[in-house]
Chain A
Amino acid sequence: MNTELIREFLLESFENLANISEELTTFEKNSEDLELVNSIFRKVHTLKGSAGFLGLKKLQEVTHAAESLLDLIRDRVIKITPQIVDCLLEIFDVSIEMLKFIEKNNKESTGNHDALIQKTLLFIKKPQSNSTPEEHSFLSGVKIPKSLFDEEIDDRKKVTIKAQSQELVAPIVEKAVEKIIEKKKNIEVLQTEKAIADTGDISKNASVTDSVVRVNVQLLDKIMNVVGELVLNRNQILQYASIQDSAELNRLSQQLNTITSELQTDIMTTRMQPVGSVLSKFERIVRDLAKSQDKKIKLEIIGKETELDKTLLEAIRDPLTHLIRNSVDHGIEMPDIRKAKGKNEEGKITIRSFHESGQVSIEIKDDGNGIDPQRISAKAIEKGILTAEQVKSMSPKQILSIIFMPGFSTAEQVTNISGRGVGMDVVKSNVEKIGGSVDIFSELGKGSTFKLKIPLTLAIVPALVVQDHGQTFAIPQISLLELVRFDKNNEDVKLEKLYGSEFFRLRGKLIPVFRLSNSLKLEGASSKSELTDYDFTNIVILDAEGRTYGLIVDIILDTEEIVVKPLSKELKNLTFYAGATIMGDGNVALILDSLGFYNFADKGVGLKIEKMNQQLDSEIEKEASESQELLICQLGDHRQYAIPLLLVNRLEEFDRKSIEWSGDQPLVKYGDVPMPLINLEKSLNLRGENILFSIDKNLPTEVPCVVINIRGHMYGLVVSEIIDIQQTESAIHSDSVDRKGLLGTVFLKDSTITILDVHTIIEDQNIGKMNHQHRVTRKLGKILIIEDSPLYIKIQKDFLEEEGFEVFTANNGQEAIDFLNGDIEVNLIVTDIEMPVMNGWDFTELIRKSNRKYSRIPVIAVSSKVSPLDREKGMKCGFNEHLEKLNKSDLHKAILEFI
Chain B
Amino acid sequence: MSSEYNETNTKQYCGFKIGEDSFAISVLRVQEIIRSHSLTIIPEAPTHIKGLINLRGQIVTAVSLRTVFKLDEGQSLNYMNIIVQIGEDLYAIMVDEILDVLEVSDDTYEPTPENIDSKLSEYITGVHKLKDRLLILLDLDKLLSMDN
Contact = CB atoms under 8 A, between A and B. Distances in A.
Given A520-B43, A521-B44, A590-B40, A569 B54 contact: no
19 contacts: A229-B57, A471-B43, A520-B43, A520-B44, A521-B43, A567-B61, A568-B61, A568-B89, A569-B86, A569-B87, A569-B89, A570-B49, A570-B89, A570-B144, A574-B45, A577-B42, A580-B40, A582-B54, A587-B40
Interface string A448-491: 00000000000000000000000110000000000000000000
A522 B43 contact: yes
Nearest to A582: B54
A233 interface: yes
Interface in B39-74: 40-46, 49, 51-54, 57-59, 61, 63
Nearest to B91: A568
A574 B145 CA distance: 15
A570 B144 CA distance: 7
Given A574-B42, A588-B40, 10 more contacts: A568-B89, A569-B86, A569-B89, A569-B145, A570-B49, A570-B61, A582-B54, A587-B54, A590-B42, A590-B43
A571 B45 contact: yes
B38 interface: yes
A568 B52 CA distance: 10
B63 A570 contact: yes
A523 interface: yes
Nearest to A521: B43
A590 B54 CA distance: 12
A232 interface: yes
A710 interface: no
Interface in B86-128: 86-87, 89-91
Interface of B: 38, 40-46, 49, 51-54, 57-59, 61, 63, 86-87, 89-91, 144-145
Given A229-B57, A471-B40, A569-B144, A588 B46 contact: no
A734 B145 CA distance: 61
A145 interface: no
Contacts of B43: 471, 520-522, 590
Contacts of B57: 229, 232-233, 582
A304 interface: no
A586 B54 contact: yes
Contacts of A582: 54, 57, 59
Interface string A274-291: 000000000000000000
Given A570-B144, A574-B44, A588-B52, A580 B38 contact: no
A229 B144 CA distance: 26
A606 to B, nearest CB: 19
B63 to A, nearest CB: 7
Interface in A552-570: 565, 567-570
Contact of B41 (A229, A471, A586): A471
A589 B38 CA distance: 12
B31 to A, nearest CB: 14
Contacts of B51: 588
A233 B54 CA distance: 12
Nearest to A565: B59
B46 A570 contact: yes
Contacts of B45: 571, 574
A600 B45 CA distance: 13
Contacts of A472: 40
Interface string A566-597: 01111100101100101000111110000000
Contact of B90 (A568, A574, A576): A568
